[in-house]
Structure 1
């Protein structure tokens, strides 16, 4: 089973592909879309959950999404049609880091997709290329909530603590105008949904050629989370504006 398909299955029962609940997603979008007529871009949109919610709650918004997974984009198209917002949504199958848009956007989203760019600052560099003057970026990425173990660093890589993450962003020319730190409930609920959705799919499809592999992946992920990084991992969504346009 390829990573993209596994991710789609694992996120079946969660509102977005990041550790946020419905109320947090809605609050961040309200902050990012105060007028209700913004042009929005999501770099690494997956199934388009952020965009579909923005389009549903803001009838004047138009949106574009970028992702490499045709399966995810097809789900986004289907869900947009069911929600009757497909005329305001344009989807592009390409690498988010190399996407070129014809016009700038009022809001650029990239939540939980920093791996596609090589980290948070490269993500913000990519977002900057698409951002209209006075626009905002909503970026979500991991940070260390407390000092991680060597095992946690081995599993997830190198991050800063929250203060260091904000320092890094401000030094790069951005000013936070709002932020949300995922709660313990949001973090745990995300992991239980990720492992649970994948496990349930495997158990419901025992004769599928990928069933055993999917169940092993869920077991491995759960073990890494519970014994590896649960006590140190944090996630923050930063709403940012350019300090100097």
Structure 2
């Protein structure tokens, strides 16, 4: 089973591929979208779940998404047709770091995709290239709530603590205007959903040649979460504006 297939199954019951519940996603979008006719860009959009939610609630909004996965973009197109918003959604298959826009955006999203840019600050630098004056960036990334184990750092990355993360963001010329730290329930719900969905698929398809691999992967990932990073990993989403954009 390839990585995209496994991810699709794992996220079947948690389409937002980050530890956020529906209320948190809705609130973050509300704080990030300042006008009903906004243009929104998602760098590393996957199946465009954030954009589809924004389009469904704002009938004058237009959105664009960038991702390297044709499978994920195909899912996004199908979902957009189902919601009747396909005319307002443009999708680009390419590396998000290489994307060049033809017009600025009022909101630039990149949640859980900082690895594609080489870290949080490079993600913000990429987002800034597409940002309209006075616009906002909605970014989500990990941080360490407690001192991590070496195994956790190797698995997830070399994050800072929350305060240091915010210090780095503000020193880079950004001002937080809203934020959300994922709760323990959101973090746990995400992990249970991913590895539970993958395990359930394996049990429901015992004759599939990928069943054993899926069940083994679910068990391994669940163990890594519980033993290596559950007590140390946190996730923060920030709505940011450029400090230099102040009147």
Aligned to 1:224: 224
CA distance in 1, matches of 2:198, 2:125: 33
Where in structure 1 are there 5+ consecutive unaligned residues?
none
8 Å Cα contact 1:139-1:238 kept in structure 2: yes
The Cα of 1:34 is off from its aligned counterpart by 2.7
Aligned to 1:42: 42
- The runs of at least 4 aligned residues of structure 1 exceeding 6 Å deviation read none
Aligned to 1:69: 69
1:209-233 CA distances to partner (integer Å, 9 max, x unpaired)? 2222111111111000000000000
CA distance in 2, matches of 1:132, 1:97: 18
1:21-49 CA distances to partner (integer Å, 9 max, x unpaired)? 00000001111113221100001111111
CA distance in 2, matches of 1:71, 1:152: 29
Aligned to 1:147: 147
TM-score normalized with structure 1 length: 0.97
CA distance in 2, matches of 1:50, 1:157: 24
Aligned to 2:211: 211
Aligned to 1:194: 194
The Cα of 1:117 is off from its aligned counterpart by 1.1
Aligned to 1:79: 79
Matched, 1:161 2:161: yes
The Cα of 1:4 is off from its aligned counterpart by 2.2
The Cα of 1:155 is off from its aligned counterpart by 1.9
Higher mean C-alpha deviation, range 25-34 or range 226-235 = 25-34
Aligned to 2:128: 128
CA distance in 1, matches of 2:156, 2:176: 25
Matched, 1:101 2:79: no
8 Å Cα contact 1:67-1:92 kept in structure 2: yes
8 Å Cα contact 1:36-1:59 kept in structure 2: yes
CA distance in 2, matches of 1:95, 1:150: 30
CA distance in 2, matches of 1:206, 1:72: 26
8 Å Cα contact 1:15-1:22 kept in structure 2: no
Higher mean C-alpha deviation, range 5-14 or range 101-110 = 5-14
CA distance in 1, matches of 2:39, 2:117: 22
The Cα of 1:177 is off from its aligned counterpart by 0.7
Matched, 1:113 2:134: no
1:85-130 CA distances to partner (integer Å, 9 max, x unpaired)? 1110001111111011111111000001111111111111110111
Higher mean C-alpha deviation, range 119-128 or range 210-219 = 210-219
CA distance in 2, matches of 1:56, 1:154: 38
8 Å Cα contact 1:17-1:112 kept in structure 2: yes
CA distance in 2, matches of 1:209, 1:104: 47
CA distance in 2, matches of 1:206, 1:36: 48
